[in-house]
Amino acid sequence: MTVTDAADATPEGVGDPILDLLNGFIVQLRAAGLPVSLTENLDAMQAIRHVPLEDRETFKYALAATLVKHHNHWKAFETVFEVYFSLRGDEYQVGEELVELPEMDDDEQGDQQGSGDQQGGGGENLTPEELAEMLYQSLMRGDQQMMRGVARQAVKRYAGMEPGRPVGGTYYLYRTLRNLDIDGVLERLLEQEQNEDGEAPSDFEQRLARDEYQSRANQLQQEIEAEIRRRLVADRGVEAMAKTLRKPLPEDVDFMHASREEMASLRKAIWPLTRKLAARLQRKRRHGRKGPLDFRRTVRASLSYGGVPAEPKFRNPRPHKPEIFVIADISGSVAAFARFTLHLVYAISGQFSKVRAFVFIDGLDEVTHMFEGVEDINEAVHRVNTEADVVWVDGHSDYGHALGVFWEKYGNEIGPRTSIMILGDARNNYHASESWIIKAMNEKARAVHWLNPEPQSYWDTGDSIVGEYAQHCDGTFEVRNLRQLEAFVDNLA
């Protein structure tokens, strides 16, 4: 089935249409932000000669292996792939036959267990009850073909898709899911489970069962998404769809505007990031410069060369161990960002001799103790958000007052080894800035950095007074996504 013979014989074995197709695909990948180099492009062309084009999965993996060199980019690749090749392939035919039953166009699964007769006689006339029953059955058995059938029917019936209507896929997805009431079906399935056993299952067993059904439900949701996407592509064309579905890569997701899903994936990404940073810091230290000349040992060594200092000896470098003070604004507007930075700073705290954390809104409180001895950073962050005493008057950011409190209580503890990081958007609600405190801090401390989660173009607009503080800082950085955060911490060390 492979086309290897042709490939070995003539390099031109692949016709032009496929090259054009692939080129178009790569243009879309690049538009989605994936770095695809020319050599990788060539490799992909080589690769598809060796795989059977009719095998969609293998084709996909062949492209992925040559074009995607970073796991975080896999999702973006998959989206582009599904959109771009959604109308090419037998089982992905769209058009009149949409109303057909799933069994008919999936002929390799001709004999389906039982589900056929429920749907026989034309899926078009399925009542909502029948569809609900089908959904129930498919989730209970975890039957992939049947799920696909349900997905098609459900989208057709509930999504209410109209050609040319300028709404995104999420809207249709929401409509379909709302009508299907998957959560209700899950509850029913779980109850069913209990009745079958006769005795009530333990919480543990229930949990396992729930996870099982939940994973099937997720599978179903993916089928539905795929179906919607397919129809949208058929309606609007590949380029337009690829553009609407384009999402930022994980390292480019903006902290301030991340969706709940993106937040979860960011949280997952932060742990490996800290590990990476820690490893890098350690390496830098170990392979860094040597210390100053050790005169005594050099002379001692020179004795074995008859007094000629042939072998200079150096002191071990003194480990550079900065203290870090993190002062974070945790008011609503920047809370998500502050949480990430607290995570990060604490995860690398092993690398620094001392890390102290302060949070403020209009009052200020030290929260270092909340992280001590806590192994689960999420819990610590939660405690910070609920227990820290940060409200002074009305719970609206007041940088001036918060800095005043800091200076009064902790100002004396700033020493020449202290690096201070201030996280916030400097939106001060038109209170006094008290920027002299930053200046005073910087005179005592090693460095003062300001991290601002707002785009640079918003700085100093409205009630933002970051510029006023910035003139007394060693640096003001825009830190809106993981990439920028990583670059900053890397620089710091």
Site residues, other proteins (CB under 8 A): 1-2, 4, 35, 37, 39-40, 43, 46-47, 50-52, 55, 57-58, 61-62, 64-66, 68-71, 74, 202-208, 210-212, 214-215, 218, 267-268, 271-272, 275-276, 279-280, 283, 286-287, 375-376, 378
Q: Using alpha carbons, select from 134, 77, 75 the residue that is nearest to residue 103.
A: 134
Toward other proteins, which CB reaches closer, 276 or 320? 276
Closest distance of CB 376 from other proteins, Å: 5
Closest distance of CB 191 from other proteins, Å: 12
Place of tokens 């060796």: 50
Contact between 407 and 438 (Cβ < 8 Å): no
Closest distance of CB 260 from other proteins, Å: 11
- How many whole angstroms separate alpha carbon 332 and alpha carbon 361? 9
User: Angle, to 10 degrees, between the axis of helix 436-444 and the axis of helix 399-410?
Assistant: 30
Closest distance of CB 47 from other proteins, Å: 5
Toward other proteins, which CB reaches closer, 123 or 250? 250
Closest distance of CB 57 from other proteins, Å: 5
Toward other proteins, which CB reaches closer, 344 or 405? 344
Toward other proteins, which CB reaches closer, 42 or 167? 42
Q: How many CB atoms lie within 10 A of CB 133?
A: 14
SS3 assignment for 362-386 = CCEEECHHHHCCCCCHHHHHHHHHH
Closest distance of CB 185 from other proteins, Å: 15
Indicate if the alpha-carbon torsion angle 426, 428, 430, 433 is positive or negative. negative
- How many whole angstroms separate alpha carbon 195 and alpha carbon 31? 53
Toward other proteins, which CB reaches closer, 60 or 246? 60
8-state DSSP, 200: P
Toward other proteins, which CB reaches closer, 268 or 315? 268
Closest distance of CB 270 from other proteins, Å: 11
Q: How many CB atoms lie within 10 A of CB 90?
A: 10
Q: Using alpha carbons, select from 279, 323, 253, 321 the residue that is nearest to residue 73.
A: 253
Closest distance of CB 188 from other proteins, Å: 16
Toward other proteins, which CB reaches closer, 131 or 146? 146
- How many whole angstroms separate alpha carbon 469 and alpha carbon 452? 11
Closest distance of CB 458 from other proteins, Å: 30
Q: Using alpha carbons, select from 480, 486, 416 the residue that is nearest to residue 448.
A: 416
In this structure, what are the phi and psi dihedrals at residue 351, rounded to the nearest 5 degrees?
-85, -15
- How many whole angstroms separate alpha carbon 260 and alpha carbon 170? 14
Q: Side chain identity at 79, as an amino acid letter?
A: T
Q: Using alpha carbons, select from 156, 134, 155 the residue that is nearest to residue 145.
A: 134
Toward other proteins, which CB reaches closer, 213 or 406? 213
Place of tokens 């073909």: 145
Toward other proteins, which CB reaches closer, 71 or 289? 71
